[in-house]
């Protein structure tokens, strides 16, 4: 890694960069004071805080005596300062020509109407509101309206199943749901309301469902519970007087996979989170609000959409592209046409998307004018150097710095990243902690490793955007993140310092897989498979994949006899893959399902997933002497070698 090519800081950025090398020293001298300055400089407070951090491990509060409103910071203050005519979003629907420009003044009117309508429907400060939406303007409006009222939103990715949606509604005790009849996906209508109806059969406490008409498809209706957005929001007043809330007011819950089958409700509060999102967006993407057009290609159902489509960018008053569809909707050059049409300057996307675009070839971006781009970003998983170089050459024209960022749902915002104009970059390296962030790489005993060595990534001190815990389960929060290395946050990722001391992320070291940047628990997928009536037992591992980073490989034993299973193996495998998609989400479909008479187990009955990972990665098998039947692994290895991907 030390011999990897290094790109020095861009001289173009160095002359006008928001960040300077001095930021690192200023933040290191007194991190709490540095973050306090960011909070006061970047946000508008109704009551300015006088204290930064209060820390009683593993729980923190930031700026706790301050008061503010997140919606005001994202919308109202820009209008009040004469920037109401600036475009907040160029919204691009998946169908060609479906485009709307929404100014900050427009956004304020929309958010005010939605806040008034939600208030009339009974939403109050402290409530939790589930949002299950496509990538349409109403999704952002709904989030900001909840924040305006002091109600925590819980956005659930529109690709999740009814069961997954119900689990999240129940865990958060949501009494309100905001959804749409559906959205558009690869030219087809993707229904959403039917999944809500199915989920709510398990959620009798939900009293109101607010529905956006996006596709015009027929949907079932529960009178007294379901209301159309256009009936109540469009008719509401566009003037709403916001309330001021404490900095620690819950802002949102986001559910993420852990090492058990039960997703974790990650809780973020207002003042610290908003400070972190706004500050990192300003410096990492070198934002120039008067001239930039920024595009984060994530869905708002994930934390990247929260921090770097909604809260971070809007707090900075920038213009963005918000796109509903897939990269190949209307042609594989759709992204490049959008960048050309709106003169996008900053693109932030995932390595999975970059690798997919690579497969489609450089001729497609070359056919479009991408000269407006000045900065590129990567998020969601470690990016391989080949994809990094392709991104730089064919999208950035060898002139755009790349900020390869590491962070998590739990951290709330970017933690490790280059700063354009300040730090060098290396293909595939995350480089340095953001100013004010404490990071270390440690061995099994918690000792710092030297340059050229690898270990576990830990965060050594609190930061403003950190989660305030797992909703309703403080013990699980401590056990999951703080028990492995007491006093330090264990991220669950491996990392290495190269000979220069720069950081390289090595991926997960636990049983959480990173599929196209989305975290999925192996246990969660195993539970879905075992829920099928034909399955007796299942073991799931993550395997390397050229496109998605990791892919799911499942080893399944059946209740049927071997002869019966072999009668129609292909159909059963297809059925099992679809079963997982139905129970969790299409993103959880295993790439491969290997039907096997048995699984490798120790004499105590524990499944040896380590050996299954070796099989899935086509590595030399490790020690099998502790197995009850050592021949099982060789048999599975033989099945794997003759098996093709199910996709």
**pLDDT tens digits, 161-207:** 999 999 999 999 999 999 999 999 888 999 999 999 999 999 999 99
Range list of H helices, 49-136? 70-71, 77-80, 104-120
Model pLDDT for residues 280-327, shown as the tens digit of each residue: 999 999 999 999 999 999 999 999 999 999 999 999 999 999 999 999
Range list of H helices, 464-601? 474-481, 522-530, 562-567, 569-583
pTM comes to: 0.85
Q: How many CB atoms lie within 10 A of CB 191?
A: 17
First to last CA, the chain: 33
Burial class (CB in 10 A: 0-12, 13-18, 19+), 646: middle
DSSP letter string over 499-522? Answer: TTS-EEEEEESSSEEEETTEEEEH
Token pair of 189 as six digits: 């209508």
Q: In angstroms, rounded to a whole number, what is the distance separating the alpha carbons of residues 588 and 601?
A: 25
DSSP letter string over 206-268? Answer: --EEEEE-SS-------TTTEEEHHHHTTTS-S---PPPEETTSEEEEEEE--SSSSPEEEEE
Evaluated on CA atoms 450, 452, 456, 461, the torsion sign reads positive
Helix, strand, or coil here: 146?
helix
DSSP state of 437: -
Q: Where in the chain is the domain with CATH 3.30.300.30?
A: 513-641
Burial class (CB in 10 A: 0-12, 13-18, 19+), 202: middle
Q: In angstroms, rounded to a whole number, what is the distance separating the alpha carbons of residues 198 and 215?
A: 19
CATH class of the domain comprising 104-243: alpha beta
Evaluated on CA atoms 524, 520, 151, 138, the torsion sign reads negative
CATH class of the domain comprising 513-641: alpha beta
* Phi, psi for residue 7 in degrees, rounded to 5: -105, 120
Sequence-ordered list of residues with C-beta below 8 angstroms from that of 406, at least 6 positions apart, any chain: 382, 414, 415, 416, 417, 430, 493, 503, 505
Burial class (CB in 10 A: 0-12, 13-18, 19+), 587: middle
Sequence-ordered list of residues with C-beta below 8 angstroms from that of 233, at least 6 positions apart, any chain: 113, 114, 117, 210
Adjacent-strand bridge partners of 554: 540, 593
Sequence-ordered list of residues with C-beta below 8 angstroms from that of 404, at least 6 positions apart, any chain: 377, 378, 383, 388, 417, 418, 425, 428, 429, 430, 431
Q: For the chain, state the CA radius of gyration.
A: 24
* Phi, psi for residue 455 in degrees, rounded to 5: 180, -145
Q: Which of 74, 159, 60 is nearest to 111 (CA)?
A: 74
Token pair of 396 as six digits: 């950035």
* Phi, psi for residue 437 in degrees, rounded to 5: -110, 135
Sequence-ordered list of residues with C-beta below 8 angstroms from that of 363, at least 6 positions apart, any chain: none
Adjacent-strand bridge partners of 60: 55
Distance of CA 265 to CAs 145, 257, 464, 513, Å? Answer: 21, 9, 18, 18
Helix, strand, or coil here: 163?
helix
Q: What is the 3-state secondary structure (H, E, C) of 300-349?
A: CCCHHHHHHHHHHHHHCCCEEEEECCCCCCCCCCHHHHHHHHHCCCEEEE
Q: In angstroms, rounded to a whole number, what is the distance separating the alpha carbons of residues 69 and 111?
A: 13
Q: Which of 223, 196, 203, 227 is nearest to 121 (CA)?
A: 227
Q: Which of 605, 598, 466, 584 is nearest to 521 (CA)?
A: 584
Q: In angstroms, rounded to a whole number, what is the distance separating the alpha carbons of residues 232 and 211?
A: 10
- Calculate the average pLDDT of the chain: 91
Token pair of 355 as six digits: 């690798």
With contact defined as beta carbons under 8 Å apart, do 303 and 268 qualify? Answer: no
Q: Where in the chain is the domain with CATH 3.40.50.980?
A: 104-243
Q: In angstroms, rounded to a whole number, what is the distance separating the alpha carbons of residues 571 and 568?
A: 6
Total H helices, total E strands in the chain: 23, 30
With contact defined as beta carbons under 8 Å apart, do 406 and 433 qualify? Answer: no
Q: In angstroms, rounded to a whole number, what is the distance separating the alpha carbons of residues 8 and 420?
A: 10
Q: pLDDT value at position 1?
A: 42
Sequence-ordered list of residues with C-beta below 8 angstroms from that of 460, at least 6 positions apart, any chain: 438, 439, 440, 488
Token pair of 74 as six digits: 């994202």
* E strands in 356-446: 375-378, 402-404, 439-442
Q: How many CB atoms lie within 10 A of CB 87?
A: 18
DSSP state of 371: T
Low-confidence ranges of the chain (pLDDT < 50): 1-3, 562-563, 565
Q: pLDDT value at position 602?
A: 60
Sequence-ordered list of residues with C-beta below 8 angstroms from that of 96, at least 6 positions apart, any chain: 330
Query: Which residue carries 């059969």 as its tokens?
Result: 201
């Amino acid at each position: 890694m030390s011999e990897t090519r290094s790109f020095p800081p861009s001289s173009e950025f160095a002359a006008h960069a928001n960040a300077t090398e001095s930021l690192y020293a200023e933040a290191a001298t007194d991190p709490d004071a540095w973050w306090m300055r960011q909070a006061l400089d970047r946000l508008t407070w109704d009551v300015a805080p006088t204290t930064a951090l209060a820390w009683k491990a593993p729980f923190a509060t930031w700026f706790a005596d301050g008061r503010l409103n997140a919606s005001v910071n994202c919308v109202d203050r820009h209008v009040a300062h004469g920037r109401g005519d600036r475009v907040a979003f160029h919204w691009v629907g998946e169908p060609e020509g479906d485009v709307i420009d929404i100014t900050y003044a427009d956004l304020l009117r929309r958010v005010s109407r939605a806040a008034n309508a939600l208030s009339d429907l009974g939403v109050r400060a402290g409530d939790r509101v589930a949002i299950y939406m496509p990538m349409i303007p109403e999704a952002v409006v709904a989030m900001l309206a909840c924040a305006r009222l002091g109600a925590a939103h819980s956005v659930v990715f529109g690709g999740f199943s009814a069961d997954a949606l119900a689990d999240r509604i129940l865990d958060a005790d949501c009494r309100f749901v905001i959804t749409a009849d559906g959205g558009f996906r690869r030219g087809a209508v993707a229904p959403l309301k039917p999944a809500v109806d199915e989920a709510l059969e398990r959620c009798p406490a939900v009293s109101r469902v607010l529905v956006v008409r996006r596709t015009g498809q027929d949907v079932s209706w529960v009178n007294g519970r379901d209301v159309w957005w256009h009936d109540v929001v469009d008719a509401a007043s566009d003037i709403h007087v916001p309330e001021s809330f404490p900095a620690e007011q819950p802002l949102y819950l986001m559910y993420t996979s852990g090492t058990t089958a039960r997703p974790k409700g990650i809780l973020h509060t207002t003042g610290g989170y908003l400070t972190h999102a706004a500050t990192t967006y300003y410096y990492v993407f070198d934002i120039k609000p008067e001239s930039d057009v920024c595009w984060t290609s994530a869905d708002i159902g994930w934390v990247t959409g929260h921090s770097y489509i909604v809260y971070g960018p809007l707090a900075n008053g920038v213009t963005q592209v918000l796109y509903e569809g897939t990269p190949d909707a209307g042609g594989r050059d759709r992204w490049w046409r959008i960048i050309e049409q709106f003169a996008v300057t900053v693109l932030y996307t995932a390595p999975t998307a970059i690798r997919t675009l690579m497969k489609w070839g450089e001729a497609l971006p070359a056919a479009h004018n991408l000269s407006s781009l000045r900065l590129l970003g990567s998020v969601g998983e470690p990016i391989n150097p080949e994809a990094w170089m392709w991104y730089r050459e064919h999208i950035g024209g060898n002139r755009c710095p790349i900020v390869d960022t590491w962070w998590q749902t739990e951290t709330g915002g970017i933690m490790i990243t280059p700063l354009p104009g300040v730090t060098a970059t290396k293909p595939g390296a995350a480089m340095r902690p953001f100013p004010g962030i404490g990071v270390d790489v440690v061995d099994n005993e918690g000792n710092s490793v030297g340059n050229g060595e690898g270990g576990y990534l830990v965060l050594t001190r609190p930061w403003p955007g950190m989660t305030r815990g797992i909703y309703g389960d403080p013990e699980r929060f401590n056990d999951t993140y703080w028990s492995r290395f007491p006093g330090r946050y264990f991220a669950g990722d491996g990392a290495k310092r190269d000979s220069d001391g720069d950081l390289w992320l090595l991926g997960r070291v636990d049983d959480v897989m990173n599929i196209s940047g989305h975290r999925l628990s192996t246990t969660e997928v195993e539970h879905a498979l075992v829920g099928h009536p034909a399955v007796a037992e299942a073991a799931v591992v993550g395997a390397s994949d050229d496109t998605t980073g990791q892919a799911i490989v499942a080893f399944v034993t059946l209740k049927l006899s071997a002869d019966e299973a072999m009668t129609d193996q292909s159909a059963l495998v297809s059925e099992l893959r679809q079963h997982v998609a139905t129970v969790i989400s299409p993103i959880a479909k295993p790439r491969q399902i290997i039907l096997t008479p048995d699984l490798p187990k120790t004499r105590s009955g524990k499944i040896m997933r380590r050996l299954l990972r070796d099989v899935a990665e086509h590595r030399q098998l490790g020690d099998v002497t502790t197995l009850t039947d050592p021949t099982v692994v060789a048999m599975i290895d033989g099945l794997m070698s003759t098996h093709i991907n199910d996709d």
